[in-house]
């Protein structure tokens, strides 16, 4: 076992009990041919803890896949809380809805199908979101940050997956469009006076998540 696998296994064994609904959500998504790129269980748990910590009643997710991270966050909501998850693939959305139903949270979650950048403008007039989780196409992350700032309020949290990518974001010679966009996203979040932000490495240090709190005033 590699060092990073040992670290992740240690954390997983200590903090993540077996959970049939979550295991089945991953199994079904895998059987349906979806990529195995859901958040690690430890990040799923952290997302649920953040939903509770901010007392979130409205959560926005960008990138549903098979609904794995959505299950973690929806379970952490109060009964009248709502999660809206945006997904470009109708097939992914259907699998996610089935997984959310089996996890018993389908009444708290709406999966809306379309390109996130096409769907986000319709949310501008709704109540602000208490937490936004960004996890879709990486080249749109800078735009997603703009929207997250427009759709939140002071005290809200903005969380983004995959912002380190094996350290590639730190290599200015890496010209891949998604990597450059992730670096731009990180820089925008770091410099924005409206945000208090940090990157926390995860996946044994191979990747990282960005956590940001929207400041007062
Ligand atoms: N959050 C999920 C994983 C998301 S994977 C989990 O942890 O369980 C990324 C998802 O974003 C994929 O399902 C992909 O289809 C979707 N996606 C990619 N581009 C998108 C776009 N422009 N708008 C909305 N969803 C998009
Ligand atoms: C990959 C991982 C992710 O968490 C994601 O959101 C997209 C892609 C990957 O490893 O390819
Ligand atoms: Mg991800």
84: left (phi over 0), alpha (psi -120 to 50) or beta: beta
For 66, phi and psi rounded to 5 degrees? -95, 10
In a domain, 80, yes or no: yes
Ligand 1 in contact with 99 (CB < 6 A)?
Answer: no
Helices 68-76 and 20-31 sit at what angle, rounded to 10 degrees?
150
In a domain, 62, yes or no: yes
Domain range for residue 148?
3-116+127-214
CA–CA gap between residue 75 and residue 73 (Å, rounded): 5
Q: pLDDT value at position 10?
A: 92
Q: pLDDT value at position 2?
A: 84
In a domain, 164, yes or no: yes
In a domain, 136, yes or no: yes
Q: Determine whether 101 is exposed, middle or buried from the number of CB atoms within 10 Å of its CB (0-12, 13-18, 19+).
A: middle
Query: pLDDT digit string (tens) for 134-165?
Result: 999 999 999 999 999 999 999 999 999 999 99
Ligand 2 in contact with 207 (CB < 6 A)?
Answer: no
Ligand 1 in contact with 63 (CB < 6 A)?
Answer: yes
Domain count for the chain, please give it. Answer: 1
CA–CA gap between residue 10 and residue 3 (Å, rounded): 11
In a domain, 121, yes or no: no
In a domain, 122, yes or no: no
Ligand 2 atom 1: residue of nearest CA: 37
Query: pLDDT digit string (tens) for 171-180?
Result: 999 999 999 9
The CATH number that applies at residue 86 is 3.40.50.150
In a domain, 58, yes or no: yes
In a domain, 99, yes or no: yes
pLDDT band at residue 53 under the 50/70/90 scheme: very high
Q: Which atom of ligand 1 is nearest to the CA of 67?
A: 8
């Amino acid at each position: 076992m590699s060092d990073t696998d040992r670290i992740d296994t240690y954390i997983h064994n200590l903090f993540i009990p077996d959970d049939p609904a979550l295991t089945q959500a991953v199994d079904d998504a895998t059987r349906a041919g979806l990529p195995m790129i859901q958040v690690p269980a430890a990040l799923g748990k952290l997302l649920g803890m953040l939903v509770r910590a901010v007392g979130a009643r409205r959560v926005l997710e960008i990138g549903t896949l098979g609904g794995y991270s959505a299950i973690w966050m929806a379970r952490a909501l109060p009964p009248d809380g709502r999660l809206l998850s945006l997904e470009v693939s109708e097939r992914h959305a259907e699998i996610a809805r089935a997984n959310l139903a089996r996890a018993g949270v389908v009444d708290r979650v709406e999966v809306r199908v379309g390109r996130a950048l096409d769907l986000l403008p319709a949310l501008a007039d709704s109540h602000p979101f208490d937490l936004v989780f960004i996890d879709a196409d990486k080249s749109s992350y800078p735009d997603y940050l703009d929207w997250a700032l427009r759709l939140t309020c002071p005290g809200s949290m903005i969380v983004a997956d995959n912002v380190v990518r094996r350290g590639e974001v730190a290599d200015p010679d890496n010209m891949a469009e998604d990597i450059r966009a992730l670096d731009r996203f990180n820089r925008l979040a770091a410099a924005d006076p409206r945000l208090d932000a940090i990157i926390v490495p995860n996946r044994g240090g191979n990747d990282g998540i960005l956590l940001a709190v929207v400041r007062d005033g």
